[in-house]
Amino acid sequence: MPKVVDHDQRRVELVEATWRIIARHGIEGATMRDIAAEAGFANGALKPYFPTKDDLLAFAFSHVFSQTGRRMTDATIGRSGLGALRAYCLEILPLDDIRVSEARIVIPFWQRALTDSTKAELHSSAMLLWRDTMCDHLREADTAGELRTTLPHEDLAGLLMNLVLGAQITAVLSPIENSPDRLVAQLDACIRLMAAGD
């Protein structure tokens, strides 16, 4: 019986193998040849999976997005309201090497999305999902009396979204002022102020 190749699985393996290459050289500096070599593929064997580096980048972003989503789901099990909101946001913040690598994938993805409407749509629908979940947790918090502010949930969620997205940049490019401790302190400051009310 011929060996069945799970192509989706191989795509994920490929993306994971290219992580280090991209972290080392950036997406601009990483050639498809380097990526194939790092993944143990013959040069050219990448093409059926990812015809271009742009395809690889779009897949890598989706992979980061679903990986973060899985972590978020795990982290929020058994929690609701502000506890769930905090756990959810913590999974987006680049607090360890894996998540700093994810930020290094997301920044070039943003840059490509500026002039590529397919990538822009992929990004905005992904971000809408996170934002909606944050709004859900804010509503739970409000119902539970944890939130003593009358500010609209949409603006509070928007504020948190911009905080966690801004952190992708500053954790990589201003790491001293945005160390893991400081990023957690910023998130906690924001949630504590929301809890205290206005």
The number of beta carbons lying within 10 Å of the beta carbon of residue 185 is: 11
Closest CB 12 distance from its own copies, rounded Å: 23
Per-residue interface string for the shown chain with its own copies, residues 113-152, x marking contact by CB under 8 A: xxx----x--xx--xx--x-----------------x-xx
Nearest to 15, CA basis, from 45, 33, 36, 44: 36
Please state the φ and ψ torsions of residue 188, each to the nearest 5 degrees.
-65, -35
Judged by CB under 8 A, the residue of 21, 56, 57, 156 near its own copies is 156
Q: What distance in Å separates the CA atoms of residue 20 and residue 92, rounded to the nearest whole number?
A: 20
Enumerate residues 6+ apart whose C-beta is below 8 A from 35: 14, 17, 18, 21, 46, 56
List the end-to-end C-alpha distance of the chain, in Å, as a whole number.
68
Q: Between residue 26 and residue 45, which ones bind its own copies under the rule CB under 8 A?
A: 26-29
Nearer to its own copies, 71 or 131 (CB): 131
- Burial (0-12, 13-18, 19+ Cβ within 10 Å), 48: exposed
Q: Does 110 bind its own copies (CB under 8 A)?
A: yes
Nearer to its own copies, 95 or 156 (CB): 156
Q: Does 154 bind its own copies (CB under 8 A)?
A: yes
Q: Which residues bind its own copies (CB under 8 A)?
A: 25-29, 104, 107-108, 110-115, 120, 123-124, 127-128, 131, 149, 151-152, 154-156, 158-159, 161-167, 169-170, 172-174, 176-178, 182-183, 185-186, 189-190, 192-198
